[in-house]
């Protein structure tokens, strides 16, 4: 597990994975139109939000944060879904 107990670091890692996935598809952060963050402790919203804001600084998408009871690994604090609309012929 990456950075157990560190909400900001886990969120930042999620967005690093998103960046790689977008690049692999010929897209980038500007193509993201919506994110959903599923978190196990909503009281850490500021740390999750800081990582999100840093990643999407110039292109903020519509965003939802939802507290869930647990994720598949008990050490996971966040899971992120991203919807992107991209034109691969840029």
* pTM metric for this prediction: 0.89
Q: How far apart, in Å, are the Cα atoms of 2 and each of 7, 14, 62? A: 10, 10, 26
* 65 Cα distance to chain centroid: 10
> What ranges do the domains of the chain cover?
10-84
Residue 3: predicted pLDDT: 87
Q: For the segment 78-89, what is each residue's pLDDT rounded down to a tens digit? A: 999 999 998 766
Q: What CATH homologous superfamily does 10-84 map to?
A: RutC-like (3.30.1330.40)
Q: For the segment 31-65, what is each residue's pLDDT rounded down to a tens digit? A: 999 999 999 999 999 999 999 999 999 999 999 99
Q: How far apart, in Å, are the Cα atoms of 76 and each of 10, 57, 67, 68? A: 8, 24, 13, 11
């Amino acid at each position: 597990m990456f950075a157990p107990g560190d909400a900001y670091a886990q969120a930042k890692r999620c967005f690093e994975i998103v960046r790689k996935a977008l690049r692999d598809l010929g897209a980038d952060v500007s193509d993201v139109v919506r994110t959903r963050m599923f978190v196990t402790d909503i009281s850490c919203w500021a740390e999750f939000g800081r990582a999100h804001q840093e990643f999407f600084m110039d292109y903020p998408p519509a965003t939802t944060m939802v507290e869930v009871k647990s994720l598949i690994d008990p050490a996971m604090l966040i899971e992120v879904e991203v919807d992107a609309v991209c034109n691969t012929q840029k």
